[in-house]
Amino acid sequence: MSTPETTLPSERIAQAFSPTNLRALGHRLIDLLSSHLAEIEASGTRVLNWNEPAENIARASQILAAAPQDPPSPEALVERFEKLAGEMLARGHNLHDPRYIGHQVPAPVPLAGLFDALGAITNQVMAIYEMGPWATSVERAMIARLGARLGWAEGAFAGLVTHGGSLGNLTALLTARNVSLGDAWERGLSGRTPPPVILVQQDSHYCVARAAGVLGIGTEQVVRVGLDERRRMDPQRLDEAITDLRARGVPIVAVSAAACATPIGAFDPLDQIAEVCQKHDVWLHVDAAHGGAVLLSRQHRHRLRGIDQVDSLVWDAHKMLFVPALCAFVFYRDAEHRQATFRQEAGYLFDPSVPELADFDSGTATVECTKRAATYGLWGTWSLFGEQLFEDMVDVTFDMTWRLYERLQSESDFEPLHEPQCNILAFRYVPPALRRAPEEEVGRFLLALRRELIRSGEFYIVQAKIADRQALRLTIINPLTQAAHLEGLVSAIRRTGETLL
Amino acid sequence: MSTPETTLPSERIAQAFSPTNLRALGHRLIDLLSSHLAEIEASGTRVLNWNEPAENIARASQILAAAPQDPPSPEALVERFEKLAGEMLARGHNLHDPRYIGHQVPAPVPLAGLFDALGAITNQVMAIYEMGPWATSVERAMIARLGARLGWAEGAFAGLVTHGGSLGNLTALLTARNVSLGDAWERGLSGRTPPPVILVQQDSHYCVARAAGVLGIGTEQVVRVGLDERRRMDPQRLDEAITDLRARGVPIVAVSAAACATPIGAFDPLDQIAEVCQKHDVWLHVDAAHGGAVLLSRQHRHRLRGIDQVDSLVWDAHKMLFVPALCAFVFYRDAEHRQATFRQEAGYLFDPSVPELADFDSGTATVECTKRAATYGLWGTWSLFGEQLFEDMVDVTFDMTWRLYERLQSESDFEPLHEPQCNILAFRYVPPALRRAPEEEVGRFLLALRRELIRSGEFYIVQAKIADRQALRLTIINPLTQAAHLEGLVSAIRRTGETLL
């Protein structure tokens, strides 16, 4: 056995970079993952492996501290790797369990993760075309393909991929700010009066109002547009709000609509909203992070009627296109706008001798400089299975949500709070004993019930407040979830509720 | 053979989610990657596989369009996957080739990518603790470990991980803006006079001035602080600039220093800069995306003297900690500041019944809502090999850069433009025929030479302008690069130059 003093740096490095070790550990990983997935998909274990933060963090730190001083032998390395990977799986979240029906984060197509891994292990990145020629091209091909589904003509529009819907919304709203306010990029927002505002769907994801804070607009300059009875932005109220702002000379950065909004998955009437925005010449942005995927479903694409009329939108592939996080698309109807977000050069990056390549440098249009090959998973899955798989996954998960809705309607102790507009459902469970209890007590009960449910590992669902009432909320975002699992959920909620009372 | 009409959606979904298919395709991927890596590391092929954007994009689109209408048989699926993966590798960039010495993007430890893949395939994400309890804990353990190297006491400081150094700098400068300007988050920057400014190292990465544009400060409000003869921020000039701004009543958002700056890798004298900032009570941020890693090297950590005195910093693990993109750390000396970036709630995310868990919700401190388990690769590599490997990789790549510097100094047609301060080296190659040529001609020659060199696949280096002079630039960021490869670079540059003349 060698000691730290006798092992040369080059030996340690050779071990870490060894193709032979990659082969040995890689095969072990694939076996572990495949067995794990089989167990998880069969719903044979806990959905969420709950441990308190202090316990988990102490364990993660302990493992770091126990790292060897010197490289282990090849056999010991495999053994050590297997232990690490096993512990990572044992303490993780099992999104592929059909009883995982929680946040808007899918049980992804596992094979998509293989394409992603190819990019990670070889570290394919972008910023300028020459650093990631194939990564850039795969991204461009996906942008063209999805853009066509938006109803836009090739060459007229532009797109980019970024690390998440929040960053995507920030990017698009930054572009809107720069275009709407003219010189905001160079001069900033200082000195402007009255302060510019942004109009948002009342139920918008928190990142939209947050973008106003980030961009120097200020969260107090966020105007929330009222909803109709299905929690969709009311075009009439939007028209009135814009008319009023214009009359007072208040600059408008953008209108941010939702397709769909997070709480109950409501799709704004984009065609009518676009008409209002066009009438007033206001930038229309749509957060379609979750709902963009309905464009691939013949049954559900009508929900996005009018999407071809918006100025910008966000569409997350890591939601309803079922690829691992993160892969968010930003689209601009007018291709020119992709260059309005930032207005800069970096001499060491962008080569002035090849201006014809500049259009393919991703870094000019994204917050990221170095960017992962984030579309490898989507492009690979699409290339393996074709578009039909994506339509199937949308249709199957939406359909299952309607079935659950109808099921809950038939039970007196369950109250669905809305007819589904996609695969999100908010509902209440109020057992007979609490039927006359004050709202606050019911709210506490529902929060406690959910926490008990997820800590037990039996199901994973989330919570939400809908119109000031506490609700349970779920997203059927695992295409493996069947009616029998949902039947199990009804029982589990009742059983857990009883224990609590 | 089934037709699209006869294949049920559930059959297609079952095939895509099949653990058996994951096993078959996964093993095939590992074999492909391992063989590929062996070939690449032996420097037996081209570094960069150059194809024009139009050709690459057409190919990526063609593959998408050729996707099957119906799922193939298991054997056909493996075959199709193998073709796809093979094409992805054949058209990608080979960062593990020792002749890749280009941007500040490493040839990563391949095994780090396996840990990353575990996270991707099972889709471990964060935003709130309960979605990624282990992902959160691994991140927290790494923050504690790296924070200790910064010289800070446990519990006093805070950190987070985000998708890249640019996003990290934006996040930290947003925090600085909110803290320095008081109510900028709520009220925005509108109406403020005189406009606030930000002071930056003259050679800062473009993302720093860009952050001023994003945050509503305005790129015209970026004050560039002059450099000393080693291209480091001059503390004396900084002191004068702040004194002058204060005298004029101009609010200062922050000083942004660099450790190191991109063009030649200069490390600002942080101890002296911190002293100036403390004297004037100005927020000091440091972009240590590249240089943070010297803290793990006994030989080089002196370059970051004073880092414990800064208010915030960015440290990219996907640079000199040699993990795949993206894994960028943001640190705040004062733990309280992690909550100053955003000031919001999202009812459906953050559960008020368990306030003790809120501190572990990553989404309150990062631009991302859903966030990848971005530290899996770093934590896994560290746990396998210990801290020593990271010190080795820093020392070996830095040392090789000094060796190249000395080598180039001894040649009359090469001119290193600076003594290295890390593993970045900018230099010029001026053959005898161009010795009396005007600067513009030499500049064009160097750009053409580099482009020819990288398109040939023989080497991958980059370019930069240093004090208005065109230069070649490289980063020895592959620990497998040896002196013999650098000797080959000298020859390749001369040979390519001759062909051009």
Q: How far away is chain A from the Cα of B435, in angstroms, using its nearest Cα?
A: 21
Give the pLDDT band of residue B188 (cuts 50, 70, 90). Answer: very high
Q: Is residue B100 domain-resident?
A: no
Q: What are phi and psi of A416, to 5 degrees?
A: -65, 135
Distance CA A201, CA A256 (A): 6
pLDDT score of B3: 46
B291 located within any domain: yes
Residues A332 and A392 in one domain: no
**Segment B217-246, tens digit of pLDDT:** 999 999 999 999 999 999 999 999 999 999
Q: Which structure tokens are listed for A483?
A: 């009616």
Mean pLDDT of B471-488: 98
CATH number (domain holding residue B409):
3.90.1150.170
Alpha helix stretches (DSSP H) within A101-164? 110-121, 133-149
**Mutation choice for A interface testing from B17, B46, B321 by most A CBs within 10 A:** B17
Contact B53 A347 (CB under 8 A): no
Q: Nearest CA of chain B to the CA of A304: how many Å?
A: 23
Which amino acid is it at A183? D
Question: How much is the pTM?
Answer: 0.97
Q: Mutation target for A interface from B36, B78, B111: give the one with most A CBs within 10 A.
A: B111
Residue B347 has pLDDT above 70, yes or no: no
Q: Are residues A235 and A256 in the same domain?
A: yes
Q: Are B395 and B480 in the same domain?
A: yes
Q: Domain check: are A274 and A144 in the same one? A: yes
Do both B369 and B438 map to the same domain? no
A114, B10: Cβ pair inside 8 Å? no
B186·A64 Cβ contact <8 A? no
ipTM for the whole complex? 0.97
Last residue of a domain, one of A357, A384, A411: A384
Cβ separation of A216 and B190 shorter than 8 Å?
Answer: yes
B42 pLDDT tier (thresholds 50, 70, 90): very high
Task: Report the C-alpha gap between A228 and B169 in whole angstroms.
Answer: 40
Which residues in A lie closer than 8 A to residue B64 (C-beta atoms)? 141-142, 145, 379, 382-383
Residues B308 and B431 in one domain: no
Residue A3: its pLDDT value, please?
Answer: 46
Question: Is residue B293's pLDDT more than 50?
Answer: yes
Per-residue pLDDT at A275: 98
High-pLDDT (> 70) share of chain B, %:
97
Residue of B28, B121, B455, B474 to mutate for A, most A C-beta atoms under 10 A: B121
Q: Using the CB atoms, write b or e for B415-437: b if 16+ within 10 Å.
A: ebbbebbbbbbbbbbbbeebeee
Structure confidence by residue, pLDDT tens digits, B402-422: 999 999 999 999 999 999 999
- Cα A197 to the center of its chain, rounded Å: 26
**Three-state SS at B384:** helix
A369 and A489 housed in the same domain: no
Distance from CA of A98 to the nearest CA of B (A): 12
CA distance A256 to chain B (A): 17
pLDDT digit string (tens) for chain A, length 501 residues: 344 456 789 999 999 999 999 999 999 999 999 999 999 999 978 999 999 999 999 999 999 999 988 778 999 999 999 999 999 999 999 999 999 999 999 999 999 999 999 999 999 999 999 999 999 999 999 999 999 999 999 999 999 999 999 999 999 999 999 999 999 999 999 988 999 999 999 999 999 999 999 999 999 999 999 999 999 999 999 999 999 999 999 999 999 999 999 999 999 999 999 999 999 999 999 999 999 999 999 999 999 999 999 999 999 999 999 999 999 999 999 999 999 999 765 555 667 788 888 889 999 999 999 999 999 999 999 999 999 999 999 999 999 999 999 999 999 999 999 999 999 999 999 999 999 999 999 999 999 999 999 999 999 999 999 989 999 999 999 999 999 999 999 999 999 999 999
What's the pLDDT at A1? Answer: 38
Look at A221 and B190 and tell me if their CB atoms are within 8 Å.
yes
Among residues B351, B384, B417, the one where a domain terminates is B384
Of A115, A123, A447, the CB nearest to B105: A123
- Kindly report, residue by residue over B297-314, the tens digit of the pLDDT: 999 999 999 999 999 999
Grade residue B349 by pLDDT with cuts at 50, 70 and 90. Answer: low
Give a yes or no: residue A302 inside a domain.
yes
Number of domains in chain A: 3
Q: Is A309 exposed, middle or buried (0-12, 13-18, 19+ CB in 10 A)?
A: middle
Domain assignment present for A104: no
Query: Which residues of chain A neighbour B88 with C-beta distances below 8 Å?
Result: 115, 118-119, 134, 138, 376, 380
Check whether B350 has a pLDDT greater than 90: no
Distance between CA atoms of residues A185 and A194, nearest Å: 18
Element housing B161 (H / E) = strand B158-162
For residue A405, the distance in angstroms to the closest alpha carbon of chain B comes to 20
Domain interval for residue A207: 117-185+193-384
Which alpha helices (H) appear in A265-387, and where do they start and end? 270-280, 317-320, 376-385
> Which of B94, B127, B160 is at the close of a domain?
B94
Residues of A in contact with B103 (CB under 8 A): 127, 131, 370
What integer is the mean pLDDT of B190-202? 94
Looking at beta carbons, which residues of chain B come within 8 Å of A130? 48, 50, 454
> Closest partner residue to B370 among A115, A120, A164, by Cβ?
A164
CB B176 within 8 A of CB B313: no
Cα B369-B370-B374 angle, rounded to 5 deg: 115
Report the percent of chain A where pLDDT is more than 70: 97
Same domain flag for B86 and B125: no
Please name the residue of chain B whose CA is at the shortest distance from the CA of residue A88: B134
Question: For the CA atoms of A431, A437, A441, A446, what is the dihedral angle to 10 degrees?
Answer: 20
- State yes or no: cis peptide before A326, omega within 30 of 0: yes
Q: How far is CA B427 from the centre of its chain?
A: 22
Give pLDDT, residue B499: 95
In a domain, A371, yes or no: yes
Predicted local distance difference test score (pLDDT) of residue A351: 75
B105: in domain = no
> Which are the contacts of B291, defined by CB distance < 8 A and separation ≥ 6?
B259, B260, B265, B267, B303, B304, B320, B422
**CA-CA-CA-CA torsion sign (B344, B348, B349, B355):** positive
Q: Is residue B439 part of a domain?
A: yes
Burial B193-230 (b: 16+ CB within 10 A, else e): eebbbbbbbbbbbbbbbbbbbbbbbbbebbbebebeee
Residues B191 and B264 in one domain: yes
User: Are A251 and A364 in the same domain?
Assistant: yes
- CATH number of the domain within which A273 lies: 3.40.640.10
Helix, strand, coil shares, percent, chain B, to 5: 50, 15, 35
How many Cα atoms within 13 Å fall on the side-chain side of residue B348? 28
B228 and B243 inside one domain:
yes
Provide the 8-state DSSP code for B49.
Answer: -
Does the beta-carbon distance from B64 to A380 stay under 8 Å? no
Say if B110 falls within a structural domain.
Answer: no
- Verify whether the Cβ–Cβ distance B216 to A221 is below 8 Å: no
Contact check, Cβ <8 Å, A344/B206: yes
Residues A280 and A414 in one domain: no
Looking at CA atoms only, how far is residue A276 from chain B in angstroms?
27
